[in-house]
Amino acid sequence: MGWRIISISSLCKLDYKMEYLVVRSRDETTRIHMSELSVLILESTAVSLTAYLLRELERNKVEVLFCDETRAPYAMLASLYGSHDTALRYRQQIEWAQAAKESVWAEIIRRKISGQIAMLPVERRLERELLQSYVPQVLPGDSTNREGHASKVYFNALFGKHFSREADTPVNAALNYGYSLFLSAVAREIAAAGYCTQLGIHHNNRFNRLNLASDLMEPFRPYIDEAVRDFLPTEFERGERLRLIAVLNRKVLLNGHSQYMLSAVRLYVQSVFAALENAQPELISFPEYEQ
């Protein structure tokens, strides 16, 4: 698996030659070996690329994100069949027990809230204690919506009492961009393992083709929240986007070992499937948060 995350933001042409991604702009030509690539983000609609390159990117399991005219990710390159046993995986997924799905979802929410606690400043003692009290209250399927209660307390403590996730602000633009990066990374690992991204364990919107990715990405949201908290954007331009892309290159602890973020995503997703297949949420390997 590669390690380089490449963002293309200006007019250029991309093609493939002898195991290299070739980037041709007006002023220069750059070559990057396919084995080094992990993520390719096409920020500009002025980028052109060949079908042959797309095939090789997918063959090398490179995550490719396409952005719209606002430079927000809106589509990704995905294989129709990520694994040789996709049909078997689909059947297993359909047969996951409801109790197993609800217990796994509850564990995901507990870990997400724990991550939110870690991202709050230590002086926010009352909010941290309130969030901590929610963790043991999370029931199977989060039937009492501790996630929703925690999010309201958390975002108001992190960005101020007047903050709203619905507002059109640079902070929300940064959060949405960062979340979309993790959403696509998780979706890629789901497809690579042979499972269906449309069939979620909690999200079940019939218009959402990434229901399962929306479920599984939740524990990674606090890493984006932390990054946005640290630079608190007053505008959202290329510099801010690069700072969020850098989150995918950081290291985190998982099972006591230091892992690059994208490797942690892969191992975490695999562990969730093991937990669902065996109805044992304790099998999930979550990334650790720094307090």
> Could you tell me if 123 and 192 lie in one domain?
yes
* Domain housing 30: 4-76
Instruction: Fill in the DSSP letter of residue 62.
Output: -
The domain that holds 180 is classified in CATH as 1.20.120.920
Q: How many domains does the chain have?
A: 2
> Could you tell me if 123 and 10 lie in one domain?
no
Q: What is the pLDDT of residue 2?
A: 76
> For all residues of the chain together, what is the average pLDDT?
94
> Could you tell me if 130 and 262 lie in one domain?
yes
CA angle 12, 15, 19 (to 5 degrees): 135
> Alpha-carbon torsion 226, 227, 228, 234, what sign?
positive
> Could you tell me if 152 and 229 lie in one domain?
yes
Q: Is residue 288 part of a domain?
A: no
Give the SS3 label for residue 75. Answer: strand
> Could you tell me if 136 and 20 lie in one domain?
no
Q: How large is the average pLDDT for residues 192-204?
A: 95
> Could you tell me if 44 and 150 lie in one domain?
no
Q: What is the pLDDT of residue 291?
A: 63
At 271-291, the pLDDT tens digits run: 999 999 999 999 999 999 976
Contact 213, 226 (CB under 8 A): no
Contacts of 32 (CB under 8 A, 6+ apart): 4, 6, 20, 21, 23
Query: Can you tell me which residue has the tokens 């908290």?
Result: 229
> Could you tell me if 124 and 8 lie in one domain?
no
Among residues 76, 101, 124, the one where a domain terminates is: 76
Among residues 76, 104, 119, the one where a domain terminates is: 76
Q: Is residue 81 part of a domain?
A: no
> Could you tell me if 20 and 68 lie in one domain?
yes
Q: What is the pLDDT of residue 165?
A: 95
Q: What is the pLDDT of residue 240?
A: 95
Q: How large is the average pLDDT for residues 247-260?
A: 94
Q: How confident is the model at residue 71 (pLDDT cuts 50, 70, 90)?
A: confident
Among residues 31, 47, 76, the one where a domain terminates is: 76
Q: What is the pLDDT of residue 138?
A: 98
Q: How large is the average pLDDT for residues 78-86?
A: 79
115 compared with 75, residue with greater pLDDT: 115
> Could you tell me if 19 and 139 lie in one domain?
no
What radius of gyration, in Å, describes the C-alpha atoms of the chain?
20
> Could you tell me if 176 and 237 lie in one domain?
yes
Residue 134, pLDDT > 80, answer yes
Q: Is residue 259 part of a domain?
A: yes
Percentage of the chain lying above the pLDDT 70 cut: 99
Q: Is residue 291 part of a domain?
A: no
Report residue 287 as tokens: 């990334």
Q: What is the pLDDT of residue 70?
A: 83
> Could you tell me if 141 and 265 lie in one domain?
yes
Q: How confident is the model at residue 91 (pLDDT cuts 50, 70, 90)?
A: very high
> Could you tell me if 180 and 274 lie in one domain?
yes
The domain that holds 49 is classified in CATH as 3.100.10.20
Q: How large is the average pLDDT for residues 220-239?
A: 95
